[in-house]
Chain A
Amino acid sequence: MSDVNITYVFVADWPAYLRIVVAGRVQRDYFFFSKLITDRLTANGVRELPDFSIFTPESLDEVLDLLARGGMTLLAGGTDLIPMMKRGKASPVYVVDLSGVSSLRYIRREKGYFLIGGRATVKDLVECGLFDERYGAIKLLGRYFGVEPTRVMATVGGNLASGGERDLPQILEVLGARVKLVRKEGSRVAGPLGLQLAGDEIISEIVFPELGVRTYTWFSKFEKRAANGIGVVTAAVYLKLGEDGSVDDVRLTLNRVRGRTPGRLYKTEKALRDGRLDDDTLSHVMEVLDDEISPASDFRASASFRKHISKVLVVRSLMECARRIMA
């Protein structure tokens, strides 16, 4: 062992630094921190998050046990929760980190259904290769959902749990998805829009049926900046056409149906069903849509502008779907 050389150096009082050299070649470098490195953070001018305790479970059972204790906040990709903590809008006491629960990160196709684990990321959805072109609404997340790091980090479960104007509830609703929520004492199933979670529940799985023939889905977003998260208007569409080109089935969602609440456009869907997508029908359908929605104004856009863009996106999305089904 005469050619093994271990260097142990202190840089100031910390970190301790260990270099293992064998036969003149560096094998490995180690840093050890005996002292909390974050003691120095204030000196670096970094603004800290509020304090909380962290749990790092590795299985769903462990997560459910922790949730059953009460007072826990789940953390997945952190893209909603961490900014909220920074802004002082969330101050959790106990945080349960889901990054180690790999059993919740999957996308599978089984017996005519897609099964998506609650911890699957948006990037997993876009890049898994299981969705053909009919799943345009999912593919378009790669263009419209945040930016690349957001898609890497953000999870499906976190997006559904955040509620409000989020992309996945709208897209999953038109895909006919059901969301499975579990707690230690059992489970339930709910629709993706307007989910209300109890404190001890976790979104474990999302299920939706494979699309049939002559169907297509689309998602579009009108935003002020190509990299913006919250769009002015987002629209998701599912369309099924009959052999003669008439509408067999349709599902539509918008980010603001009433006030700031996302939802389905049941009346507009009804006006579309069994008709053709010609100019006359569409102009009638747009009157129905105009009556059906009353989006709230805010600093991003006025109510009347939102209404106008809502109509534009719904028509465009329907036409995109129809064109691709007929092709």
Chain B
Amino acid sequence: MPKIGLRINGVQVITEVRGRDRLIDLLRGMGFMSVKEGCSAGDCGSCNVLVNGELVNSCLMLAVQARGCEILTLEGIGTEEKPHRLQLAFVDFAASQCGYCIPGIIVTAKYLLDRNPNPTEEEIRRILTANICRCGGYTRIVEAVKKAAGAI
């Protein structure tokens, strides 16, 4: 059974994994419950996390493939005491309905803002095609990302 080391939200982790364990399995098994399983096939983005700063579907990556990598989940982006400006904007716009898709959406939005601090609405909508919100609250989600980017 491979033993791997990786950093999750800034914390060094050393663990054994089985081949079949996906990154989402490892993260949820460790209690990072923001990482949601929706489609298990790369379509919905609910499981999105950053791996070395790159946007990844954690349902399509094996845990062993993340060896030596730096992982960022929603838990590492902000906390209840110290929310990220994206999270504050989502609260302001009541952009979350059932909330299932929101962690993945905030990770995608963070990835966008890290690369492109002043995105256009078109760019926001384009990158968010990576995420599906079944409640259909896209308008407020896009507004919230715009606000976090300082455009509103």
Chain A partners chain B: yes
Shortest Cβ distance from A143 into chain B, in angstroms?
8
Interface residue range, chain B: 35 or more
Residues of A within 8 A of B17 (CB): 38
Say yes or no for B16: interface residue by CB 8 A criterion.
yes
Residue in B14, B16, B20, B56 whose CB lies within 8 Å of A153: B56
Residues of B within 8 A of A15 (CB): 15, 30
Q: How many A-B residue pairs have CB under 8 A?
A: 132
Interface string of B95-118 (1 = CB under 8 A from A): 000000000000010010000000
Say yes or no for B62: interface residue by CB 8 A criterion.
yes
Report the Cα distance A212→B55, complex, angstroms. Answer: 35
Shortest Cβ distance from A22 into chain B, in angstroms?
16
Shortest Cβ distance from B94 into chain A, in angstroms?
25
Say yes or no for A309: interface residue by CB 8 A criterion.
no
Closest to A33 in B: B15
Selected interface stretch from A73-81, A267-275, A278-286: A73-81
Closest to B63 in A: A38
Shortest Cβ distance from A97 into chain B, in angstroms?
6
11 contacts between A and B (CB under 8 A): A15-B15, A31-B13, A37-B30, A48-B21, A50-B20, A56-B64, A75-B65, A77-B60, A149-B56, A149-B60, A150-B57
- A82-B62, A226-B129 known; 4 other A-B pairs, CB under 8 Å? A36-B1, A147-B130, A150-B42, A227-B129
Query: Which residues of A does B touch, CB under 8 Å?
Result: 15, 28-33, 36-38, 40-41, 44, 46-54, 56, 75, 77-79, 82-83, 86, 95, 97, 99-100, 146-150, 152-153, 225-227
Q: What 4 pairs between A and B have smallest CB-CB spacing?
A: A54-B19, A227-B129, A147-B130, A37-B29
